[in-house]
Structure 1
């Protein structure tokens, strides 16, 4: 069965008004799960960290409205770090985060990165499940209680592609 909705990926700047739902919902999610100090995560990086040529912020639009998104920034010369993974609360359980993650991987590989790194919080089991299902290698003991570990790091090699820059 095909999805009747028109979907497209769009590269946007952090200041783009389409990013507002992502920022609002992620902030709410972090504060709900980790407390008020989690709000700081949303302002931890400079705006240009998620801008080309070293980073990107992608939104998945459905019928022109943002339903999911994510970003990466430069971690080191060969590694992109995924940040800001988000699916609109009304659109979860549709595989949208998996699509965003795959597009971030493709975009990072095309930009010349050879590895993806990311961390997710210990109170986000759905994110941990996403990254394991998408072939990421956990850099922590998956049998340990996540709350005893702190941020959960993952990595994944990227295929070598010709840069598009």
Structure 2
């Protein structure tokens, strides 16, 4: 049996949950993510979503899938995996389409950065695609450094890599895990 850590989030009905990829609450978000990737890029997204084995997203090096639950239902999530000894790579950051424009992705980023820092990582790496301007805007707004020419046509750049040095901080309302 896998243990699930839950801590209260900023609102009484918003909970942060750390779960394995196999948790059934993950499926709806990954299904919607796959649909959106397929719609935006015109390909079957299954290969991209399943490219990394689940074990890469488990402790001690990889990083647990984090879900934000609202009234018990998943509304946003993300994960990280080991990129190198000092760097975590963020993957699958997602907000359910019915819950966008509420700052949930920003909250997921902050939680993932905190968890990666707690596991000893000092830098974050991530990539997004050229047809995801919302993600690009989020990463720029939250202090990520683009490793590509942001003035270039996004389609000519291809994958959009970003990085960020971690500053260890305590999240507001974050309970210390024992």
- TM-score band by shorter chain is over 0.9
| Distance change in 2, residues 1:112/1:4 (3 Å) | closer
TM-score computed with the length of structure 1 as normaliser: 0.93
Residue 5 of structure 1: how far off its partner (Å): 5.7
Q: Which runs of 4+ in 1 moved over 2 A?
A: 36-39
Distance 1:38 1:63 in 2: 29
Work out whether residues 30 and 39 of structure 1, in 8 Å CA contact, stay in contact via their aligned partners in 2: no
TM-score computed with the length of structure 2 as normaliser: 0.86
SS of aligned partner of 1:29? helix
Corresponding position: 1:45 with 2:52: yes
Residue in structure 1 matched with residue 152 of structure 2 by the alignment: 144
Residue in structure 2 matched with residue 23 of structure 1 by the alignment: 30
Work out whether residues 35 and 45 of structure 2, in 8 Å CA contact, stay in contact via their aligned partners in 1: no
Q: Deviations over 1:130-153 (max 9, x none)?
A: 000000000000000010010100
> Aligned-residue CA RMSD in angstroms?
1.7
More helix by share: 1
Distance 1:79 1:108 in 2: 9
Distance 1:5 1:90 in 2: 20
Match of 2:116 among 108, 112, 119: 108
Gaps of 5+ in 2: 1-9, 170-176
The count of corresponding residues between Structure 1 and Structure 2 is 161
| Distance change in 2, residues 1:160/1:34 (3 Å) | same
Gaps of 5+ in 1: none
Work out whether residues 11 and 59 of structure 1, in 8 Å CA contact, stay in contact via their aligned partners in 2: yes
